[in-house]
Amino acid sequence: MNKENLILRDVLAIERTKLANERTFLAYFRTAVVFFASGIGIISIHFFKKIDYIGYGLVFLSPFVLFWGIYRFVKVKKSISRYYIGQKE
């Protein structure tokens, strides 16, 4: 299927799929930032010294969430491009 054979409805569906992929990546990014900030907050506040291991766990987990989001974004983007031949980005 090439770009000339796509009708407007198909082109719009592809664009919606690309935007959904971007929104999903931003959700992973937002989650990683919240994990990191929450972990730093728990570690730095003296009131939470008994549970600071949770803070360290959140700080440790945040880069993995971010890298998983990046991996998934790239994988889905390649899959979309591969399925619709002629769609280059």
> What one-character-per-residue DSSP string does 24-57 give?
HHHHHHHHHHHHHHHHHHHHH-GGGGGGHHHHHH
- For residue 20, what pLDDT is reported? 94
What pLDDT, on a 0 to 100 scale, did the predictor assign at position 48? Answer: 80
Q: Using CA atoms, how far apart are residues 36 and 67, in angstroms rounded to an integer?
A: 14
CB of 15 closer than 8 Å to CB of 84: no
Over residues 10-65, the pLDDT tens digits come to 888 888 999 999 999 999 999 999 999 999 999 999 888 898 899 999 999 999 99
